[in-house]
Amino acid sequence: MTALAPAASSALAASLAAIAGDRHVLRDASSLLVFEADGLPGHRAHPLLAVLPGSRDEVVAVVRTLAAAGVRFVARGAGTGLSGGALADGVVLVGLNRLRRIVAVDAANRTATVEPGVVNASLSRAVLPLGLHYAPDPSSQAACTIGGNVAENAGGPHCLKAGVTLNHVLAATVVLPDGEVVALGSADGEAEGYDLLGAFVGSEGCFGIALDVTVRLMPNPERIITQLADFTSVDDAARATSAIIAAGILPAALELMDNATIEAVEASVYAAGYPRDAAAVLLVEADGAAAGLDDDARAIDAICRANGARDVRTATDAADRARLWQGRKKAFGAMGRLSPHLVVQDAVVPRTKLAELLAAIAEIGARHRVRVCNVFHAGDGNLHPNIPYDATDPDESARVDAATRDIMRRCIDAGGTITGEHGVGTDKLGYMEALFTAPTLDAMCRLRDAFDPARRANPGKVVPVHSCREWTGAAAWRAARE
Partner 1 sequence: MTGATAAAIHAASASDVVAAVHDAAGRGGALRIVGAGTWLDAGRPVRAGAVPLDISALRGVTEYNPGDLTIAVRAGTTLAEVDAATAEHRQWCPLLPWGRDGGTIGATIATATAGPCAGALGLPRDLVLGAEFVDGRGSMVRAGGRVVKNVAGFDLVRLVTGAWGTLGVITHLNLRLRARPAVDETWSVAVERLDDTAVARIDALRLGPYLPLAAEFVNDALARHLGLGDTPQLLVRLGGNAHFVAAARAAVLALGSAAEHPGTAWASLRAAEPARASTWRESGAPSRWPLLARSVMRRGADGSRAVHAHLSLARGVLRVSTLLDTGDDPLRAGAAWRTSMRCVRERPAADDAGGDLTGAHRVAGADALARRVREAFDPNGVLNPGILA
Q: How far is the CB of 63 from partner 1 (least distance, A)?
A: 10
Range in contact with partner 1 (rule: CB under 8 A) among 2-10, 74-82, 189-197, 328-336: 189-197
Q: How far is the CB of 275 from partner 1 (least distance, A)?
A: 27
Identified binder of partner 1 from the candidate list 37, 69, 199, 302, rule CB under 8 A: 199
Residue whose C-alpha is closest to residue 368's, from 409, 333, 329, 424: 409
Residue closer to partner 1 by CB (options 156, 388) is 156
Q: Restricting to residues 338-397, name those near partner 1 by CB under 8 A.
A: 348-352, 377, 380-382
Q: In what order do the strands lie in the sheet with 309-314?
A: 309-314, 223-231, 280-288, 253-258, 373-376, 385-389, 341-344
Range in contact with partner 1 (rule: CB under 8 A) among 2-10, 32-40, 282-290, 319-327: 282-290
Is there a contact between 312 and 230 (Cβ–Cβ < 8 Å)? yes
Range in contact with partner 1 (rule: CB under 8 A) among 23-31, 194-202, 311-319, 357-365: 194-202
Q: How far is the CB of 246 from partner 1 (least distance, A)?
A: 5
Identified binder of partner 1 from the candidate list 56, 158, 330, 410, rule CB under 8 A: 56
Residue closer to partner 1 by CB (options 280, 463) is 463
* Residue 258 touching partner 1 (CB under 8 A): no
Cross-strand pairs, 181: 175
Q: How far is the CB of 470 from partner 1 (least distance, A)?
A: 10
CA-to-CA separations, 424 to 22, 206, 248, 297, in angstroms, rounded: 34, 12, 32, 36
Range in contact with partner 1 (rule: CB under 8 A) among 241-249, 252-260, 313-321, 395-403: 241-249
Range in contact with partner 1 (rule: CB under 8 A) among 5-13, 54-62, 305-313, 335-343: 54-62
Q: What are phi and psi of 5, to 5 degrees?
A: -65, 150
Identified binder of partner 1 from the candidate list 13, 86, 118, 187, rule CB under 8 A: 187
Q: What are phi and psi of 378, to 5 degrees?
A: -60, -35
Give the integer Cα–Cα distance in Å for 352 and 378.
10
Residue closer to partner 1 by CB (options 37, 105) is 105
Q: Restricting to residues 57-116, name those near partner 1 by CB under 8 A.
A: 57, 60-61, 103-104, 106, 108-110, 113
* Residue 47 touching partner 1 (CB under 8 A): no
Amino acid in position 386: N
Q: How far is the CB of 44 from partner 1 (least distance, A)?
A: 23
Give the integer Cα–Cα distance in Å for 350 and 355.
10
Angle at 252 between CA 249 and CA 256, to 5 degrees: 90
Is there a contact between 81 and 122 (Cβ–Cβ < 8 Å)? no
Residues binding partner 1: number (CB under 8 A): 104
* 459 Cβ contact partners less than 8 Å away, ≥ 6 residues apart: 1, 72, 74, 91
Identified binder of partner 1 from the candidate list 117, 423, 459, 460, rule CB under 8 A: 423
Residue closer to partner 1 by CB (options 31, 109) is 109
What are the helix (H) ranges across 114-178?
120-127, 146-152, 159-162
Amino acid in position 318: A
* Residue 19 touching partner 1 (CB under 8 A): no
Give the integer Cα–Cα distance in Å for 454 and 22.
28
Identified binder of partner 1 from the candidate list 42, 90, 275, 288, rule CB under 8 A: 288
Identified binder of partner 1 from the candidate list 415, 454, 473, 475, rule CB under 8 A: 415
Residue closer to partner 1 by CB (options 372, 444) is 444
* Residue 20 touching partner 1 (CB under 8 A): no
Q: How far is the CB of 316 from partner 1 (least distance, A)?
A: 22
Give the integer Cα–Cα distance in Å for 75 and 60.
12
Question: DSSP code of 377?
Answer: B
* Residue 11 touching partner 1 (CB under 8 A): no
Q: How far is the CB of 188 from partner 1 (least distance, A)?
A: 5
Identified binder of partner 1 from the candidate list 321, 448, 455, 456, rule CB under 8 A: 448
Is there a contact between 256 and 378 (Cβ–Cβ < 8 Å)? yes
Helix (H, G, I), strand (E, B) or coil at 112: strand
Helix (H, G, I), strand (E, B) or coil at 380: helix
CA-based max dimension of the chain: 74
Is there a contact between 404 and 437 (Cβ–Cβ < 8 Å)? no
